[in-house]
Amino acid sequence: MVMEDLLKKLQEINGVSFVSVTYVNQQNEKHQTTFNIGVDYYKAKQKDIEFLEKLDTNTIKCSLPVELLEQAREELIFSMKNPSKARTDGIKNAYTNLGHGLKIHNETQVLYVYGMKVNKTVITEGEYKEDTRKPLTQAKDTLRSLLKSTQYRQYELGRSLQYKLKGDTIIFE
């Protein structure tokens, strides 16, 4: 019954709407995340390309060298303008969009709610491994944290603890 209640609430949404999810990720971190559903990912991506093209990497405060940040900026612009066709097609073919921030994985039939993250509050810390990323990857992640299109998240309904939307809380037992 809980799943049907959530699906009904999601189908009632028109346009952009806030949704809050309490979720436990693979690292056992429990968090509450508020996100917008109905926001256009492709518009956000175009704005991010414009932002990166104008970005002065000298203004970014971090411990990484400016030259590395500049290389990361150029590579991000290139990859955003020239996405992998195989990867893009793979993602398109893997899911069926059911509208209103809801999609289903075509093979597993698992339902996901997705949208752009607005806020995240950690309730219980998870267990994360040591950061072993290369410096260029760290530089790209530093820049990605400034972008809107990289803030899109999806949450598997089966791993969710509760949702809040349209004034109601739907709790999964």
How confident is the model over 8-25, as pLDDT tens digits?
666 666 667 788 888 888
Higher-pLDDT residue of 73 and 98 is 73
Query: pTM, whole model, 2 decimals?
Result: 0.78
Report for 59-63, 70-74, 148-152, 158-162: range of highest mean pLDDT: 70-74
Q: In this model, does residue 41 exceed pLDDT 90?
A: no
Q: Decide: 21 and 163 in contact? Cβ < 8 Å.
A: yes
Residue 170 pLDDT level (bands cut at 50, 70, 90): low
Query: Which pLDDT belongs to residue 124?
Result: 93
The amino acid present at 40, given as its one-letter code, is: D
Res. 168: pLDDT tops 70: no
Comparing 17-26, 76-85, 134-143, which segment has the lowest mean pLDDT?
Answer: 17-26
**36-to-1, 32, 132, 148, 152 alpha-carbon distances in Å:** 24, 14, 32, 12, 9
**pLDDT over 60 at 1, yes or no:** no
